[in-house]
Amino acid sequence: MALDRETFAQLLDTIGRFVEKRLIPLEAEVSQTDTMPPALVDDMRALGLFGLSIPEDHGGLGLTVEEEVQVIIEFGHASPAFRSVFGTNNGIGSQGIAIDGTAAQKRKYLPKLASGEIIGSFALTEADSGSDAASLRTTARMDGNVYVLNGTKRFITNAPNAGLFTVMARSDPDNKGASGISAFLVEAGTPGLSLGPPYKKMGQQGAHVCDVIFEDCRIPADAVIGGVEGRGFKTAMKVLDRGRLTISGMCVGNAERLIRDSLAYAMERKQFGKAIAEFQLVQAMLADCEAEVYAAKSMVLDAARRKDAGGKVTKQAAICKYFCSEMVGRVADRAVQIHGGAGYMADYGIERFYRDVRLYRLYEGTSQIQQLIIAREMMKEAAR
């Protein structure tokens, strides 16, 4: 543990109160306005939330993965859009640097990401390269002592607010495979970098996504993460291994919230002369939710501990992402069912969560990609 038990318990307690008192009351407003109140973002900065995972010597809290997952589960008790404000700074928007960056890159960017002075964003996906990430076509051509980027990145989370992009691009045009890809650090405002309009999404209003366009965008040679070409795909995969654990934590937190709301509703709502929670068919739905979230929480904490112990968790991270994202989808569906007509009405917030959690089965690798990774890792283990 990076923090002593008492300090970490205090942190969790502070975050729990922040979620209950500040975030939950704002859920409907943020969803309706699609805007995050700037004062709330300032409070998140003051709490250190942008630097949960960033090492202490670079200005972050330096939490272990297990601690970070516990914090994220707490955050999952509120709408996912809130976590998205600082999610990329702790995850895909900073981890490329934290894992594979040079000492100079870490010194230059991690403190600003940890404080929330800048927002980090991860640009991997393209129009024709989603699940097949290694087929990406954005190019990084060397011209004298600079790289020239050309291409369009699609559906990039937090891009509208980002100050720094981790961009995967093909630095070796003759190499169409994973080893032809490098990861670059590109600052917002660099000439040749522009943004598409924000997408209208199914859910998670308040979190913003757009395309990132590179047209003859010239960046210095030392913008390659780690200073070595050809390692960008592996950097991206390592970043995703970690990211998939924190998403799993969000799934657990969201499921806990949905169970809490569904149980409260079922114990209060009366039909046929008694609370609907007294009916065994409703109890079955509640029990299935509780059993599944217990399994999900146990597995993500186990995988996080394995990662903290230095193990490779590619398979475990994929298992967690697969199970937890599918689990919260089932829990959200049952939550609507338990709430009946009220579950379908926007006033109760349940239908909003139902839409919000749908994303978990898609981003940072679809459920089908997680299945593929799990089976591949099983075969590798068997062959050893």
Catalytic residues: 364
Q: Which lies closer to ligand COS via its Cβ, residue 134 or residue 146?
A: 134
* Contact between 168 and ligand COS per CB under 6 A: no
Q: Are 335 and 266 in contact (CB under 8 A)?
A: no
Helix extents (H) in the chain: 5-18, 27-33, 38-46, 65-75, 80-90, 95-100, 103-115, 232-268, 280-308, 314-339, 341-344, 350-356, 367-383
CA R_g for the chain: 21
Q: Are 348 and 341 in contact (CB under 8 A)?
A: no
* Contact between 167 and ligand COS per CB under 6 A: no
* Contact between 373 and ligand COS per CB under 6 A: yes
Residue 164 phi/psi, 5-degree rounding, is -145, 130
- Select from 148, 178, 263, 275 the one that contacts ligand COS (CB under 6 A): 178
Q: Are 76 and 251 in contact (CB under 8 A)?
A: yes
Q: Find the Cα–Cα–Cα–Cα dihedral 47, 51, 52, 56, rounded to 10°.
A: -110
Sign of the CA dihedral with 375 first, then 235, 242, and 321 last: negative
Taking CB under 6 A as the criterion, which residues in 228-247 touch ligand COS? Answer: 233-234, 237-238, 240-241
* Number of residues assigned to the chain: 384
- Select from 70, 89, 248, 314 the one that contacts ligand COS (CB under 6 A): 314
Q: Which lies closer to ligand COS via its Cβ, residue 11 or residue 209?
A: 209
- Residue 108 CB, nearest approach to ligand COS (Å): 24
* Contact between 279 and ligand COS per CB under 6 A: no
Q: Which lies closer to ligand COS via its Cβ, residue 15 or residue 224?
A: 224
- Residue 133 CB, nearest approach to ligand COS (Å): 4
With contacts defined by CB under 6 A, name the span among 28-36, 123-131, 190-198, 333-341 that binds ligand COS.
123-131
- Residue 236 CB, nearest approach to ligand COS (Å): 8
Which helix (H) or strand (E) is 163 found in, with range?
Answer: none
* Contact between 134 and ligand COS per CB under 6 A: yes
Of residues 286, 283, 284, 313, the one with CA closest to residue 301: 313
Q: Which lies closer to ligand COS via its Cβ, residue 240 or residue 320?
A: 240
* Contact between 322 and ligand COS per CB under 6 A: no
Beta-bridge partners for 150:
139
Number of residues forming the site for ligand COS (CB under 6 A): 19
- Residue 313 CB, nearest approach to ligand COS (Å): 9
- Select from 131, 271, 283, 368 the one that contacts ligand COS (CB under 6 A): 131
- Select from 124, 169, 259, 327 the one that contacts ligand COS (CB under 6 A): 124
CA dist., res. 132 & res. 365, Å (int): 10
Taking CB under 6 A as the criterion, which residues in 339-368 touch ligand COS? Answer: 363-365
- Residue 135 CB, nearest approach to ligand COS (Å): 8
Beta-bridge partners for 151:
214
Which helix (H) or strand (E) is 212 found in, with range?
Answer: strand 209-220
With contacts defined by CB under 6 A, name the span among 18-26, 58-66, 128-136, 300-308 that binds ligand COS.
128-136
C-alpha distances out from residue 21 to 73, 146, 217, Å: 16, 49, 44
* Contact between 99 and ligand COS per CB under 6 A: no
Write out the residues near ligand COS by the rule CB under 6 A. Answer: 124-125, 131-134, 178, 233-234, 237-238, 240-241, 314, 363-365, 369, 373
